[in-house]
């Protein structure tokens, strides 16, 4: 029997993050100030984010040292290194000549990769004298990761949670409060933005866009508070490269190098964290690995969006980022993979898509849940609905390899477990899931273009 598990010891947790900025085929266009339309003044950004994080956002250093305290936190509290498994039962079931490996981030305290950046962000804020971190959350995966990191480093955490999730996902709220965070349903009566929406509708379901606006208003009213974001930005993606750097050692231990790497994309952080250390090899010409980025058809920023400057939020408070986007006015349908319900993707990932280095594909949620159900029965792990997008793509590619008789090495990132998403699985089993595919996207209307 071959090995199915490739373990590392704590000493193998990376000492440096990999920063892709110096290796990209072109420069990342600068974020623009929503008021002036000119590149954002970094002095404005340090009122929102810890100074060290603003520096990392634009750093051209290829490897950035992980502070000892962060590395210790990743090991002692974040439970790194995480395992890499070979999905032998899935391979056997598909009778594919392909080998399928997956990195599993579900073993962390809050069940997904998000703790990797939460710990780093909490650390830098703590050493800079910040007392409170404020953020927004939809489903609650980011909010719970930041709450856990705040508990570890002794920082207060305040989370604006979209009211619909606050009501429908009580377990994530409980988890955040268990870690000591304050959680408010958004829109709330604590901010002027929130009060405005509550006046319109006292039971307003909220949106990530509104929750971001509330978090920013909150931070601007408290000198000791800073804002924290769980994806999209360069420094967040860089913090996630611990995933790919570990995977590199583990695949090496398995005696293979991946032909195809796959990850699900919301804002792009777990995909980037898993693949960028391997994208580096391809950019410098030492590999031909293909990189597949999977998104929902309900939120098709890479497969149907436009590469342009767009706001990060619905309320137009954030800087504009040049990215693949379906438009900040787009109302993302209520799919269960709430972590993928974002209108844009990271600027660095957008550039790699433009250059054909990353290939985007999209699926409907019903086919994704079916793949996840099969994976659960064969491999014993319930994937988060977000991660299930990568599972679906891995299965499709393994079946194609079978048709073509190719012995491909496939590696995908299983970004989290689905134990707090069983409602979605319930609806899948009861045949109640809806598949959404927009006919037109607001971004095309605004650009005055025919829909593609």
Ligand X SMILES: *Cc1c(COP(=O)(O)O)cnc(C)c1O
Query: In the complex, what is the shortest distance from the CB of residue 356 to ligand X, in angstroms, rounded to a whole number?
Result: 20
* Pairing verdict, β 409-414 and 16-18: unpaired
Query: In the complex, what is the shortest distance from the CB of residue 293 to ligand X, in angstroms, rounded to a whole number?
Result: 9
**Residues whose CB falls within 8 Å of the CB of residue 87, separated by 6 or more in sequence, listed in order:** 100, 101, 102, 375, 378, 379, 394
The C-alpha atoms of residue 99 and residue 389 are separated, in whole angstroms, by: 19
Query: In the complex, what is the shortest distance from the CB of residue 176 to ligand X, in angstroms, rounded to a whole number?
Result: 14
When binding is defined by CB under 6 A, the residue of 227, 416, 425, 433 that contacts ligand X is 416
Of 163 and 336, which CB lies nearer to ligand X in the complex structure? 336
The CB-side HSE value for 361 (13 A sphere, CA atoms) comes to 17
When binding is defined by CB under 6 A, the residue of 228, 231, 275, 314 that contacts ligand X is 231
Can you name the residues that pair with 294 across neighbouring β-strands?
A: 264, 361
Could you report how far apart the first and last alpha carbons of the chain are, in Å?
50
Write each residue from 19 to 58 as x if it is in contact with ligand X (CB under 6 A), else as -, in one continuous string. Answer: ----------------------------------------
Of 204 and 336, which CB lies nearer to ligand X in the complex structure? 336
Query: In the complex, what is the shortest distance from the CB of residue 305 to ligand X, in angstroms, rounded to a whole number?
Result: 15
Of 165 and 191, which CB lies nearer to ligand X in the complex structure? 165
Query: In the complex, what is the shortest distance from the CB of residue 214 to ligand X, in angstroms, rounded to a whole number?
Result: 20
Query: In the complex, what is the shortest distance from the CB of residue 124 to ligand X, in angstroms, rounded to a whole number?
Result: 19
When binding is defined by CB under 6 A, the residue of 121, 188, 241, 415 that contacts ligand X is 415
The C-alpha atoms of residue 371 and residue 102 are separated, in whole angstroms, by: 15
Which of 344, 350, 349 lies closest to 442, judged by CA?
344
Write each residue from 232 to 271 as x if it is in contact with ligand X (CB under 6 A), else as -, in one continuous string. Answer: --------------------------------xxxxxxxx
Residues 172 and 179 sit within 8 Å (Cβ to Cβ): no
Of 166 and 342, which CB lies nearer to ligand X in the complex structure? 342
Q: Is 311 helix (H, G, I), strand (E, B) or coil?
A: strand
Of 271 and 425, which CB lies nearer to ligand X in the complex structure? 271
Can you tell me which residue has the tokens 């006046």?
Answer: 199
The C-alpha atoms of residue 378 and residue 372 are separated, in whole angstroms, by: 10
Of 73 and 384, which CB lies nearer to ligand X in the complex structure? 384
Write each residue from 376 to 395 as x if it is in contact with ligand X (CB under 6 A), else as -, in one continuous string. Answer: --------x-xx--------
Of 218 and 386, which CB lies nearer to ligand X in the complex structure? 386
Q: Which of residues 74-113 bind ligand X (CB under 6 A)?
A: 112
Of 401 and 411, which CB lies nearer to ligand X in the complex structure? 411
Of 251 and 382, which CB lies nearer to ligand X in the complex structure? 382
When binding is defined by CB under 6 A, the residue of 71, 86, 103, 114 that contacts ligand X is 114
Query: In the complex, what is the shortest distance from the CB of residue 165 to ligand X, in angstroms, rounded to a whole number?
Result: 13
Of 244 and 267, which CB lies nearer to ligand X in the complex structure? 267
Query: In the complex, what is the shortest distance from the CB of residue 111 to ligand X, in angstroms, rounded to a whole number?
Result: 7
The C-alpha atoms of residue 198 and residue 320 are separated, in whole angstroms, by: 27
Cα three-residue angle 172-213-447, rounded to 5 degrees: 110
Can you name the residues that pair with 103 across neighbouring β-strands?
A: 84, 413
Query: In the complex, what is the shortest distance from the CB of residue 199 to ligand X, in angstroms, rounded to a whole number?
Result: 31
- How many positions of this chain bind ligand X (CB under 6 A)? 19
Query: In the complex, what is the shortest distance from the CB of residue 141 to ligand X, in angstroms, rounded to a whole number?
Result: 4
Q: Which of residues 267-326 bind ligand X (CB under 6 A)?
A: 267-271
The CB-side HSE value for 312 (13 A sphere, CA atoms) comes to 22
Query: In the complex, what is the shortest distance from the CB of residue 92 to ligand X, in angstroms, rounded to a whole number?
Result: 26
Which of 271, 342, 276 lies closest to 311, judged by CA?
342
Query: In the complex, what is the shortest distance from the CB of residue 1 to ligand X, in angstroms, rounded to a whole number?
Result: 30
Of 250 and 387, which CB lies nearer to ligand X in the complex structure? 387
Which of 422, 432, 437, 411 lies closest to 372, judged by CA?
422
The C-alpha atoms of residue 96 and residue 337 are separated, in whole angstroms, by: 28
Of 57 and 217, which CB lies nearer to ligand X in the complex structure? 57
What's the order of all strands across the beta sheet hosting 290-296? 5-6, 84-86, 99-104, 409-414, 260-264, 290-296, 358-363
Q: Is 76 helix (H, G, I), strand (E, B) or coil?
A: helix
Write each residue from 141 to 180 as x if it is in contact with ligand X (CB under 6 A), else as -, in one continuous string. Answer: x---------------------------------------
Distance between alpha carbon 94 and the CA centroid of its chain, in Å? 29
DSSP string, 370-404: HHHHHHHHHHS--B-HHHHHHHHHHHHHHHHHHHH
Can you name the residues that pair with 362 across neighbouring β-strands?
A: 295
Using only C-alpha atoms, what is the Rg of the chain?
21
Residues that bind ligand X (CB under 6 A): 112, 114, 141, 231, 264-271, 339-340, 384, 386-387, 415-416
């Amino acid at each position: 029997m071959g090995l199915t598990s490739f373990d590392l010891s704590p000493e193998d947790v990376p000492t440096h993050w990999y920063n892709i900025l110096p290796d990209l085929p072109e420069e990342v266009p600068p974020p623009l100030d929503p008021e002036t339309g000119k590149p954002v003044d970094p002095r404005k950004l340090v009122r929102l984010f810890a100074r060290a994080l603003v520096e990392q956002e634009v750093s051209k250093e290829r490897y950035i040292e992980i502070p000892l305290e962060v590395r210790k936190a990743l090991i002692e509290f974040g439970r790194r290194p995480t395992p890499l498994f070979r999905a032998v039962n899935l391979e056997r079931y598909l009778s594919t000549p392909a080998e399928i490996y997956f990195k599993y981030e579900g073993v962390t305290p809050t069940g997904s990769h998000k703790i990797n950046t939460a710990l780093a962000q909490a650390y830098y804020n703590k050493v800079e004298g910040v007392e409170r971190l404020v953020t927004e959350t939809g489903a609650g995966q980011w909010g719970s990761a930041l709450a856990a990191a705040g508990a570890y480093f002794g920082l207060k955490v305040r989370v604006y949670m979209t009211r619909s999730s606050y009501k429908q996902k009580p377990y994530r709220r409980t988890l955040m409060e268990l870690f000591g965070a304050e959680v408010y349903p958004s829109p709330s009566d604590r901010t002027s933005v929130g009060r405005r929406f509550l006046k319109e509708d006292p039971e307003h379901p909220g949106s990530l866009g509104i929750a971001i606006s509330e978090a920013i208003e909150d931070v601007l009213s408290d000198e000791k508070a800073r804002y924290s974001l769980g994806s999209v930005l360069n420094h967040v993606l860089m913090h996630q490269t611990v995933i790919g750097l570990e995977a590199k050692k583990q695949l090496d231990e398995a005696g293979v190098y991946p032909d195809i790497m796959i990850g699900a994309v919301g804002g792009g952080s777990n995909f980037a964290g898993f693949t960028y250390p391997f994208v580096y090899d391809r950019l410098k010409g030492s590999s031909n690995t293909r990189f597949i980025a999977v998104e929902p058809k309900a939120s098709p920023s890479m497969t149907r969006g436009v590469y342009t400057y767009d706001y990060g939020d619905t309320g137009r408070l954030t800087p504009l980022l040049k990215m693949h986007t379906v438009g900040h006015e787009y109302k993302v349908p209520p799919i269960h993979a709430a972590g993928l319900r974002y209108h844009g993707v990271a600027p660095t990932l957008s550039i790699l898509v433009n250059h054909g280095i990353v290939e985007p594909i999209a699926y409907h949620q019903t086919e994704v849940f079916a793949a996840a159900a099969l994976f659960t029965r064969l491999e014993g792990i319930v994937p988060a609905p977000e991660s299930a997008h990568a599972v679906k793509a891995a299965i499709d590619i393994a079946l194609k390899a079978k048709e073509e008789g190719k012995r491909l090495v496939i590696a995908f990132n299983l970004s989290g477990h689905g134990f707090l998403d069983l409602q979605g699985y319930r609806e899948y089993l009861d045949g109640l899931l809806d598949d959404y595919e927009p006919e037109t996207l607001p971004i095309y209307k605004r650009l005055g273009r025919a829909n593609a």
